[in-house]
Amino acid sequence: MSHKVRVTKEFDFEIAHALWNYDGHCRNLHGHSYRLFVTVIGQPSQNPHDPKNGMVIDFGELKNIVQGEVVDPLDHAVILNTAAVDDKLENISQMFDKLFIVDYQPTCENLVVDFSRRISKRLPAGVTLHSLKLHETASSFAEWYASDNQQG
């Protein structure tokens, strides 16, 4: 008898951003210490000859996927909405080594959607992304669930 099991790994990283055309303090460049919880779901291997027997995914493999797609590229990066970039910012890359111009407002909600796409494409067969929880502060977070985003 096989059972589906959820496996979660936690990641910490820093990102700076500014919210284009926002009507509050976050319109200014500032940073957050993000905490990301990545939960995948699948059936643990039941093959006694499989070195990953009993696992949905090796925690090390999940770490490599999330590090490669999210943490390494974005840790200590600056993320700005493309709407904010104009000729006044043409030399901004001289100030920041890791500058990402994205086609969305870099809110916690939009970042977690972006992360879901990045992570999902790298998961091995039989393992799917179940949910993401992205803390922007200790008391504020956004969540993404696959079940809320299934195409019908």
Q: Catalytic one among 17, 32, 130, 136?
A: 136
* Given the residues 30, 76, 135, 143, the one annotated as active site: 76
Dist. CA 107–CA 119, nearest whole Å: 18
- 3-state helix, strand and coil shares in percent for the chain, rounded to the nearest 5: 30, 35, 40
Residue pLDDT, tens place only, 103-152: 999 999 999 999 999 999 999 999 999 999 999 999 999 999 999 998 65
* Alpha carbons 137 and 134: distance in angstroms, whole number: 9
> 76 catalytic, yes or no?
yes
Q: What domains sit in the chain, N to C, each tagged with a CATH number?
A: 5-148 (3.30.479.10)
Cβ neighbors of 126 (< 8 A, separation 6 or more) are 42, 43
pTM, rounded to two decimals: 0.92
What pLDDT is recorded for position 72? 98
- Catalytic-residue membership of 26: yes
Active site residue 136: yes
Residue carrying the six token digits 């499989």: 50
The catalytic residue among 14, 26, 30, 61 is: 26
